[in-house]
Amino acid sequence: MAWLYAVVAGASVATAGPVRDLQKDYDVLVGVQTAAMDRPEPERATLIAASYREHFQAVATGDLQAVASADLDLVFRAATIAAGYTLERAYVVQMKAVYDVLAARNAISGRHPQSMLEAFVAARMLEDARRFAQAMPSLGVTLPAFRDAAGGSDGPMLWSVQDQGRTLVRQAADLGTSTVVVVAHPLCGFSQAAAVQIARDETLRGRFAQQSIWVLPQTAMIDTAQVLAWEKDHAPFSMAYVDRQRGWPMIDSWATPTFYFFKDGRVVHEVVGWPQEGRKAELLEGLAKIAAE
């Protein structure tokens, strides 16, 4: 969530005398964000969303034309925080409404377009993200084509990298009767170490090649070349993007790496993290629990 911290760090904006002190409201929101960092992810998102709704929702959904540009900047940053932690599209829509007013006033700064694009991607508003990136060539971002093969279905969904990275296809995750879902990231050193050690282990390699799905959390950036490079370096494993984390309620943490062992669609074993010595015994325990009877 580096993009969120960048938003917070640059938040010293003078207000122009609004009805309420939005700078003070923003400071309250940032305080809630800071205090919630050690809370579980769902609780953290709930606390931040509640603070945003209390201090900014009325402004963000009201007459934006009546709000000074400096204060709109604060509203935009506040909505960015809410969107980043909740991954809810409603806050991204509010960000875009504020962005459009700022753009009409020629009040867009360098950070606004990048934050807007990342919010679209994180909320999986991917066609909006493509259009926005195309309209802002200065961002230097080219997104792949997106194709929904799942017909808009809910549930555990993935975006698989196809066509040499030029296309992402949305499809239902095949959890089968016995599957290991590995939450990982190409740039996570612990995820890389786990993939290397598992691939080198004769006991684990075959089982994980057949039964594991390596997935990226609902990130704010999509880099298919990065995923393809990871797959090349860590064959025989493949990696896909999670569509929306809310479709995976059985996963309680998206920290990387975390291993979830599914038996008939239900999590029966969980392994968190990857120390230097690995976690072979714990992985074997999970594999035993999901083994066919």
Write the pLDDT tens digit of every residue in 135-169. Answer: 999 999 999 999 998 776 778 999 999 999 999 99
Q: Are residues 222 and 129 in the same domain?
A: no
SS3 244: coil
CB-CB contact of 197 with 182 (8 Å):
no
- Look at residue 124 and tell me if it is in a domain: yes
224-264 tens-digit pLDDT? 999 999 999 999 999 999 999 999 999 999 999 999 999 99
Residues 20 and 76 in one domain: yes
Per-residue pLDDT tens over the stretch 48-106: 999 999 999 999 999 999 999 999 999 999 999 999 999 999 999 999 999 999 999 99
- Give domain status of residue 284, yes or no: yes
Asked, for residue 240, whether it belongs to a domain, the answer is: yes
Same domain, 38 and 122: yes
Residues 104 and 39 in one domain: yes
Structural domain range at position 101: 2-139
Residue 50 covered by a domain: yes
Task: Give how far the C-alpha of residue 263 lies from the chain's centroid of Cα atoms, to the nearest Å.
Answer: 26
**Number of domains, the chain:** 2
Q: Which residues of 24-61 are buried (b: 16+ CB within 10 A; e: fewer)?
A: ebbeebbebbeebeeeeeeebbebbbebbeebbbebbe
- Residues 170 and 212 reside in one and the same domain: yes
